[in-house]
Amino acid sequence: MASDARAHLLMNKELFFVNEEMCELLTGNQGSVDSIPVPDLYSSHEEADSRITLHCMCASHQPTTERVIVRSPDSDVFLFLCHSLMQLANRLSLTPAIKTTEDS
């Protein structure tokens, strides 16, 4: 648990942070950020598109999940998620992000 003036931004939200094979759940809690390892989401996938699908599948099957939002300009992410749509329990919102010249 780390003290952080921006912890309020995470209140009532869950943010999954991925670093190489590891995954941690970050939540805001009264002026601090809690970090909890999530071994179920540890993965050796190198490509983000397949990892995003893994995370969506896991999140959509949690009883507390109302919706899963993915915003990505990557068409591969869109195709992976379309293929998995039926398994995502109708909780997925996919918003295409617009690539700018700065993203290239």
DSSP character string of 77-99: HHHHHHHHGGGGTT-EEEEEPPP
Does the model's pTM come out above 0.85?
no
Non-local (6+) Cβ contacts of 100 within 8 A are: none
Q: Report whether 88 contacts 58 (CB < 8 A).
A: no
Q: Report whether 29 contacts 16 (CB < 8 A).
A: no
Average pLDDT score over residue span 77-99: 73
Q: How does pLDDT run across 67-85, given as a tens digit for each residue?
A: 788 888 888 888 888 888 7
Mean pLDDT lowest among 15-29, 51-65, 70-84, 87-101: 87-101
Average pLDDT of every residue of the chain: 79
